Structure 1
């Protein structure tokens, strides 16, 4: 009998790009991908100091890292980022669309129309532009991973989530279509949907516990930011080579897609 070895997430020889890489979740995703062996292009919008610190951190692991600023809602800037990453690291094997702009959560009637439009651009259009920029090279190679960060809010649709949930549901539609369109070229397209995770800012403020929220979560606790990064790294790896079109909640069961 052939020996079955335990699975291991191995991204050595792979190049990833993470948008919104200087944010609370983005930083952890970058670290986990690099720890698994990937070189990483670090996208940021305005936090250059934080981006450079993250670059040095990744390089200390023996991985290559590259920093680039762009407005991910503007096609020309996304294409310029693609060209810069290609020159520095090569065409990415893994695209992680994590960047998003969030506005004040209020009722649909009170939310500014401009908030809905901007939320759409930073969420749905962001994913469209990244696919247009980076998928063609994946098609040529016959391999690639596109992973977008969604949210449990896309399923909850509770009061005050109008702008955010509608944009994320639009993203979901685009990603499902892309999964069908890019699948014949060997490219998987998936989404990871966090719950209300514990990140650095909550740890620093001593606010890890949110009892009202935890009471509704089947596991009766909040997850950690690294739980999201681990799901991303799994979907980026060969272990997930036959998984595509998935909306994967990482929320302790707080939301559950049904059949």
Structure 2
């Protein structure tokens, strides 16, 4: 038994990022054609497209502002024209900003997190779910965070955006479930990426000591969870928030 995404097309937003690029490669390795979304890093997107095509899959780079519905609709049309119907949507993109206290965090930072977490999720649903309904199924996958359960100091804007995203995804799961569309969230912990490997920063004794598995997860761990949720093996899983963080947070019943 294995993950087989042959005949599926996946869209990964923020695919040029540290985690997104591994998700795109992993979905392609499982057999999916991949739409590589980027905002400004077009060169990295084209590099990733060439890599995926070298794996024998189709791929296309698509630019969009994920906070704007018109831009996402244009992206949908471009992807559909090149790769056909999108079966799997992975909402991975998020706006980066400097974390600080509630009293010092700017209003613009809260707005950026609302737009890139909540509104991106809404826009992607409006753009891609109707065709999934027509096709009789699909996968909506949001990338959340362990921070949404931790609520540590300086995380307020990020946590507010991700907890808002959580609400959208749980309700969407109920609304589109009758059409055999699953809606789930993957919540990474503090993850080792290519940047860490380059900089030699894979270990963090303070963080690692708190994790039951006593280590940080990797970008591949996150991508593996995404591929599983995208596959037929997860066809009866929906409405979930799945931490991929070595047990650092544990949702309770």
How much does 1:118 deviate? 1.1
Match of 1:47 in 2: 41
Q: 2:230 is matched with which residue: 221, 232, 236? A: 236
For the 8 Å contact 1:197–1:222, the answer to whether it is kept is yes
Deviant stretches of 4+, over 2 Å? none
Counterparts of 2:21 and 2:69, CA distance in 1: 24
The reply to whether residue 90 of structure 1 matches residue 84 of structure 2 is yes
The C-alpha deviation readout for 1:134-168, integer Å capped at 9, x for no partner, is: 00000011110010000000000110000000100
For the 8 Å contact 1:102–1:164, the answer to whether it is kept is no
Match of 1:151 in 2: 145
Instruction: After TM superposition, list the pairs within 5 Å mapping 1:96-245 onto structure 2.
Output: 96-245=90-239
Question: In the comparison of the two structures, how many residue pairs are matched?
Answer: 253
Query: Which secondary structure does the structure 1 equivalent of 2:19 belong to?
Result: helix
User: What TM-score, normalized to structure 2?
Assistant: 0.99
Match of 1:10 in 2: 4
How much does 1:172 deviate? 0.1
Unmatched runs of 5 consecutive residues or more in structure 1 = 1-6
Counterparts of 1:23 and 1:114, CA distance in 2: 22
For the 8 Å contact 1:21–1:27, the answer to whether it is kept is yes
The reply to whether residue 251 of structure 1 matches residue 252 of structure 2 is no
RMSD across aligned C-alpha pairs, in angstroms?
0.5
